């Protein structure tokens, strides 16, 4: 059957109302959870084959997040899908007013390769929970995971309800020619712009989960050993191929040497003297990305690391000291295991540096000076972040996750995801037992009364 026919079938299926019963949504999601748990070992293998991820990382950053999300949906969906009564307006008296969450219809999800299991299935879970049909295109750069996702979805869902289409840019381009009711994209800013253009053609509502350069600020009040441990973890997890990984470390000048010492110590503790031999250190996704990273460190001052091997796609945890402000590594998102150190003397320099960039997806500040961290958090516009830690905000399903401006449009996780994949329909149900006639023409002599009436509306 052609792709277009499958998608036509999804439209018919959606219109039939078969995606709507809450009991069915729950059954399918329970089934997905069961599949994930039964096939845990296959998931570990796929992620290891694609990115050489350790089982620990795969569980914590892929499987665990999905299981938690499904459990939250199963516990809360009855409440989320219910009519939400709101206070009625006196203007409409007598009426009963409510908001109804309604699915959009046919949803297209396009996902990236860096957390290829989680970032494909997390939006699918909520799109299904909200009552939509889904076409999911996982990343071609994590082919083992993409195959496994396809297999799972085919085993659980009728294709008219959820379908996986594998392929790269050509396939995505074909999919974008179709008119969708919602598009959810996770990936780079460059491709995000292509998605936004395609969506604009049909005025399709869209979520864009993108990337950028995320700063991490460290002042001189913090325990540097503790800060280093948390920075090294957030930076070198998945070999730095994390959208919210700290990219620029902006450090108070008087602490720089000490911080660098601790960062190096923490890298050694986590991955040993030779990270290439560590089972816990992943690989770069492919040779193209490895070569991109190797070019970025040319003509830079390397404090640790800088080794790479194009055969095995190994790139060591690397720290670069004070890169030139106009160098390529200071302009593009690194998306690899390279941490930049830039020192500052006063807060104005932080402001000046961060203002050079588009609004980041994440920002972190390490300080025990509450006023300082509060100023940083409030003064900059960014997707989300943490005080005294890195990347952990992405793991709390109660915090909506997303960027702002160039780092993204829209936010998801937990309830925010259910709401994102549902149109919030506002309804006034008017009573007929009385009809207050003041709103009807002719208006002569009514303005004074109406003005008094408006006073009571707020």
Residue with tokens 């292509």: 194
Q: For 438, which DSSP code?
A: G
CB 392 within 8 A of CB 192: no
CB nearer ligand NAD, residue 187 or residue 400: 187
Residue 36: closest CA among 62, 56, 75: 62
Q: Which of 205, 211, 305, 400 binds ligand NAD (CB under 6 A)?
A: 211
Contacts of 311 (CB under 8 A, 6+ apart): none
Closest approach, Cβ 402 to ligand NAD, in A, equals: 7
Strands (E), 419-458: 422-430
CB 219 within 8 A of CB 252: yes
Q: Which of 53, 137, 230, 406 binds ligand NAD (CB under 6 A)?
A: 137
| In 130-255, alpha helices (H) | 143-156, 169-177, 189-202, 224-236
Q: Which of 103, 112, 240, 400 binds ligand NAD (CB under 6 A)?
A: 112
Using DSSP's 3-state secondary structure scheme, residue 163 falls into: strand
Whether 209 sits among the annotated catalytic residues: the reply is yes
Whether 311 sits among the annotated catalytic residues: the reply is no
Binding mask 235-274 for ligand NAD (x = CB under 6 A): --------x-------------------------------
Which span sits near ligand NAD by CB under 6 A: 1-9, 90-98, 170-178, 216-224?
170-178
CB 125 within 8 A of CB 66: yes
- How many residues sit close enough to ligand NAD to count as binding (CB under 6 A)? 28
Separation CA 6–CA 171 (nearest Å): 15
Q: Which of 188, 221, 286, 388 binds ligand NAD (CB under 6 A)?
A: 188
Both tokens of 227, joined, read 């800060």
- For residue 62, how many other CB atoms are within 10 A of its CB? 26
Q: Which of 110, 125, 183, 411 binds ligand NAD (CB under 6 A)?
A: 110
- Binding status of residue 187 toward ligand NAD by CB under 6 A: yes
Q: Exactly one of 57, 62, 243, 333 is catalytic; name it.
A: 243
Using DSSP's 3-state secondary structure scheme, residue 287 falls into: helix
CB nearer ligand NAD, residue 406 or residue 415: 406
Which span sits near ligand NAD by CB under 6 A: 60-68, 168-176, 249-257, 434-442?
168-176
284-323: contacts with ligand NAD (CB under 6 A)? none
Separation CA 114–CA 258 (nearest Å): 32
Closest approach, Cβ 171 to ligand NAD, in A, equals: 7
Q: Which of 149, 153, 172, 334 binds ligand NAD (CB under 6 A)?
A: 172
327-366: contacts with ligand NAD (CB under 6 A)? 333, 335, 361
CB nearer ligand NAD, residue 215 or residue 408: 408
**Torsion on CA atoms 339, 343, 349, 352, rounded to nearest 10:** -20
**248-252/215-218 β-pairing:** parallel
Q: What are phi and psi of 12, to 5 degrees?
A: -65, -40
Closest approach, Cβ 427 to ligand NAD, in A, equals: 33
Q: Exactly one of 57, 62, 209, 266 is catalytic; name it.
A: 209
Q: Which of 408, 411, 414, 415 binds ligand NAD (CB under 6 A)?
A: 408
State the catalytic residues.
209, 243
């Amino acid at each position: 059957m052609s792709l277009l026919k499958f998608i036509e079938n999804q439209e018919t299926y959606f219109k039939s109302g078969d995606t709507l019963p809450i009991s069915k949504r729950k059954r399918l999601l329970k089934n997905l959870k069961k599949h994930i748990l039964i096939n845990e070992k296959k998931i570990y293998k796929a992620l290891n084959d694609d990115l050489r991820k350790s089982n620990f990382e795969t569980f914590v950053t892929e499987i665990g997040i999905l299981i938690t999300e499904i459990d939250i949906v199963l516990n809360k969906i009855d409440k989320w899908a219910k009519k939400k009564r709101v206070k009625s307006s006196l203007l409409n008296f007598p009426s009963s007013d409510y908001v109804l969450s309604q699915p959009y219809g046919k949803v297209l999800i396009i996902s990236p390769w860096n957390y290829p299991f989680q970032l494909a299935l997390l939006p699918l879970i909520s799109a299904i929970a909200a009552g939509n049909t889904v076409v999911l295109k996982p990343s071609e750069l994590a082919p083992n995971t993409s195959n496994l996702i396809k297999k799972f979805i085919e085993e659980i869902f009728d294709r008219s309800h959820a379908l996986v289409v594998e392929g790269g840019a050509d396939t995505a381009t074909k999919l974008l020619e179709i008119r969708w009711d919602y598009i959810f994209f996770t990936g780079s800013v460059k491709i995000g712009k292509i998605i936004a253009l395609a969506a604009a053609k049909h005025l399709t509502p869209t979520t864009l989960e993108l990337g950028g350069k995320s700063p991490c600020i460290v002042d001189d009040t913090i325990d540097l050993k503790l800060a280093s441990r948390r920075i090294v973890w957030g930076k070198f997890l998945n070999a730095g191929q994390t959208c919210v990984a700290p990219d620029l470390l902006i450090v108070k000048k008087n602490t720089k040497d000490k911080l660098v010492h601790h960062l190096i110590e923490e890298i050694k503790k986590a991955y040993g003297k030779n990270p290439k031999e560590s089972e816990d250190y992943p690989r770069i996704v492919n040779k193209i990305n490895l070569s991109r990273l190797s070019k970025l460190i040319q003509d830079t001052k390397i404090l640790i690391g800088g080794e790479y091997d194009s055969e095995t796609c190994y790139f060591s945890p690397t720290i670069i000291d004070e890169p030139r402000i106009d160098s390529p590594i200071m302009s593009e998102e690194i998306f690899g295991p390279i941490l930049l150190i830039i020192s500052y003397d006063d807060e104005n320099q932080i402001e000046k540096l961060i203002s050079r960039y588009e609004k980041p997806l994440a920002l972190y500040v390490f300080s025990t000076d509450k006023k300082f961290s509060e100023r940083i958090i409030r003064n900059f516009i960014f997707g989300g972040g943490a005080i005294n830690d890195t990347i952990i905000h992405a793991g709390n399903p109660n915090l909506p996750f997303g960027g702002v401006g160039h780092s993204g449009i829209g936010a998801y996780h937990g309830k925010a995801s259910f709401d994102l994949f549902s149109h919030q329909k506002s309804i006034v149900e008017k009573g007929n037992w009385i009809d207050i006639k003041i709103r009807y023409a002719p208006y002569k002599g009514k303005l004074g009364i109406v003005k008094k009436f408006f006073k009571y509306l707020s």
